[in-house]
Amino acid sequence: MKSGGSRWAFAKRWETILVLILLAICIINSMASPYFLNPHNLFDSTQSFSEKALIVLSMTLVIIGRDIDLSVAANVALCSTAMGWLALHGLSTSSLLVASILVGTVAGMFNGFVITWFKVPAIVVTIGTLSLFRGIAYIVLGDHAFTSYPANFWELGQGYLFGMIPYEFLVFLGFAVIFYVLLHRTIIGRNLFAYGNNPDAALYSGIQVNAYRFWFFTLNGAMCGLAAAFLTSRIGATRPNMALGWDMETIAMVVLGGVSIMGGSGTMLGVLLSVFVMGMLTFGLGLVNIPGIMMTVVVGCLLIGAIASPILVKKFADWKRERVGI
Partner 1 sequence: MNKFHFNRDAILGFIVASLLVLIALRAPVFLSAGSLDTLVTDGALLGMMAVAQMLPILTGGIDLSMPANMAFTGMATALLSKAHPTMPVLLTVAIALGIGLVLGAFNGAFIAYLGIPPIVVTLGTMSIFRGAVFILSRGAWVNAQDFGKPYLAFPMGRLLGLTHIAWISALIIAAAYVFLNHMKKGRDLYALGGNPSAAKYVGINSTHNKMLVYVITGLASGLCGYLWVARYAIAYTEIAMGFELQTIAACVIGGVSITGGRGTIPGVLLGAAFLVIIFNALPIINVSPFWQMAISGAVVLAAVILNSRSERSQGKVILEPNRVPAAKVAL
Binding stretches for partner 1 (CB under 8 A): 68, 114, 118-121, 123-125, 127-136, 138-139, 141-143, 240, 245, 248, 251-252, 255, 261-262, 291, 293-294, 296-297, 299-301, 303-304, 307-308, 311-312, 315
Distance CA 292, CA 297 (A): 9
Residue 143 or 187: the one with the smaller Cβ distance to partner 1 is 143
Q: How far apart are CA 16 and CA 169, in angstroms?
A: 23
Give the residue with the Cβ less far from partner 1, 131 or 205.
Answer: 131
Which helix H or strand E contains 86, and what residues bound it? Answer: helix 72-88
Q: How far apart are CA 196 and CA 183, in angstroms?
A: 12
Determine the straight-line distance between the first and last CA of the chain, rounded to whole angstroms: 26
Q: Any bridge partners for residue 165, and if so which? A: 161
**Cβ 79 to partner 1, closest distance in Å?**
16
Q: How far is the CB of 115 from partner 1 (least distance, A)?
A: 10
**Which residue, 201 or 294, has its beta carbon nearer to partner 1?**
294
Question: 163 CB contacts (<8 Å, ≥6 apart)?
Answer: none
Residues in the chain, total: 326
Q: At 307, which helix (H) or strand (E)?
A: helix 292-325
CB atoms under 10 Å from CB of 27, counted, come to 11
**Identity of the residue, 1 or 98, whose beta carbon is nearer to partner 1 in the bound complex:** 1
Closest separation in Å from C-beta 133 to partner 1: 7
- Distance, CA of 21 to chain centre: 19
Nearer to partner 1, 213 or 234 (CB): 213
Q: Is 146 helix (H, G, I), strand (E, B) or coil?
A: strand
Nearest approach in angstroms of CB 171 to partner 1 is 28
Q: Greatest CA span in the chain, whole angstroms?
A: 77
| Residue among 112 and 189 whose Cβ is closer to partner 1 | 112
Q: Residue 225 has what DSSP assignment?
A: H
Min separation Cβ 239 and partner 1, Å: 13
Task: Report the C-alpha gap between 250 and 74 in whole angstroms.
Answer: 13
Determine the Cα–Cα distance for residues 74 and 63; give it in Å rounded to an integer.
18
Q: How far is the CB of 74 from partner 1 (least distance, A)?
A: 9
Choice between 90 and 142, CB closer to partner 1: 142
**Toward partner 1, which CB reaches closer, 86 or 251?**
251
State in angstroms the smallest separation of the CB of 97 from partner 1: 25
Residue 11 near residue 237, CB atoms below 8 Å: no
Task: Provide the minimum distance between the beta carbon of 130 and partner 1 in the complex, in angstroms, as a whole number.
Answer: 7
